[in-house]
Amino acid sequence: MVARLVVAAPSSGAGKTTIATGLMAALVQAGLTVSPHKAGPDYIDPGYHALATGRPGRNLDPFLTSEDLVAPLFLHGARGADIAIVEGVMGLFDGLPDGYASTAHVARLIDAPVVLVVDATGQGQSVAALVHGFAGFDTRVRIGGVILNRVGSDRHEEVCRAALDHSGVPVLGVIRRTPGIETPSRHLGLIPVAERRREAVEAVARLGDLVTEGCDLKALVRLAHTAPMPAGEAWSPEAALAGCSGDAAHRSERRTTTKVAVAGGPAFTFGYAEQTELLQAAGAEVVPFDPLRDERLPEGAGGLILPGGFPEMHVQDLAANEPLKREIAAFGGPILAECGGLLYLARELDGHPMVGRIDAKSEMSPRLTLGYRDAVVTRDTIIGRTGERVRGHEFHRTVTDLPGERVYRWRGGADGYAAGRILASYLHLHWAGTPEAATRFVKECG
């Protein structure tokens, strides 16, 4: 049985990431092996989860991967763990229409009890009314406890606890207001771990101490063990590729290993662990490199992946690495670029020269583009075929004047550039939902 908890909140800003990351760190400090997960498409929070647990942070998103894959992907990530902690997204019931892809939806799909993080700022007895409303809103979701966050004093705690005594939902922790404990953020949320490694390690340790001091860890672990035995089998990249029509056959034909270079480092931090696992199952050796530091692509690379991230925050250093830009400009293998990778492939970003493989200019915008996209592929690409449907999400504050016909179209929008062996788009895909992308990309590398 996989013991598990979902850490949720009534709304964004209540302290989910603080509590979830601190709980992961506290449980590790207590000697448990913890599997970290995040509901929704977010890339940044899982970086802190990974730092707290020493395991890859993994996303659970029914829109990107389908409802049927959420539990198998959860079981895959939780292999060998004593307990799994899932951080929610937004408010507990907030998602697409009818709550699809909400935290509550994910909690139902993995049959996990929910711990509700309530920001007690400015509240006393009203805390009980709020918790009562959330506990009764959808009886398919079991709220097994409350953690009161940002409690101001002993008296404030007494009032909140007394009000909750008759709610039927136990208080499993109280976190006092702690100046300076919040993780710094900017235009797209938290600052990724890779950009502040030393400070992030210290912050996660402080969060672990905070939760250890303020929460009943034994009670939280007992609640996690009330989750029933999950049904079904764990996801595996090999089985996912075997289920792909036609394309999967290429994997069994390969006798040599293809090297796929994947950009990383502080500028390119967005990625799902399953993409690497699928590429490896398709016969690739995945080799990371850092465009801020490395002047050469990994030797023998047959394909190149430029994931999302924050190249706009490192634009001067990226522009200054002329040797690597020249190598990528001349690279003959397939290139897949998502969001930040698209900015790097363009001619310029905020006036700074980039690689120039795409004749386009990118610049920062005051408008945040954010949302799920149910798209249709308009032409064959290195990972897609005309007419196929893909589900992805956008998350950026930049605009790019892409040339040519758009590769992806959805109701009310379109995006993406494809030419020769290049595919670049603002659209982020979770390859567990499109595993054939791995075999197609590796085949293009041959």
Which ranges constitute the DSSP H helices of 5-125?
16-29, 44-53, 62-65, 67-77, 103-109
Question: Does residue 339 carry a catalytic annotation?
Answer: yes
User: In 3D, which of 100, 112, 97 has the Cα closest to residue 66?
Assistant: 100
Q: How many alpha carbons fall within 13 Å on the CB side of residue 42? A: 25
Determine the Cα angle at 119 with ends 117 and 120, to 5°.
120
Of how many residues is the chain composed?
Answer: 446
Task: Give the DSSP letter of residue 239.
Answer: H
Of residues 160, 215, 339, 445, which has the active-site annotation?
A: 339
- CB proximity list for 437: less than 8 A, separation 6 or greater: 278, 383, 384, 429, 431
- Give yes or no for a contact between 151 and 160, defined as CB atoms under 8 angstroms apart: yes
DSSP for 344-398?
HHEEEETTEE---SEEEEEEEEEEEEEEEEEEEE-S--SS--TT-EEEEEEEEEE
Q: C-alpha distances in angstroms, 5 versus 35, 106, 262, 419? A: 11, 11, 33, 45
| CA 90 remoteness from chain centre | 14
Question: Catalytic positions, please?
Answer: 339
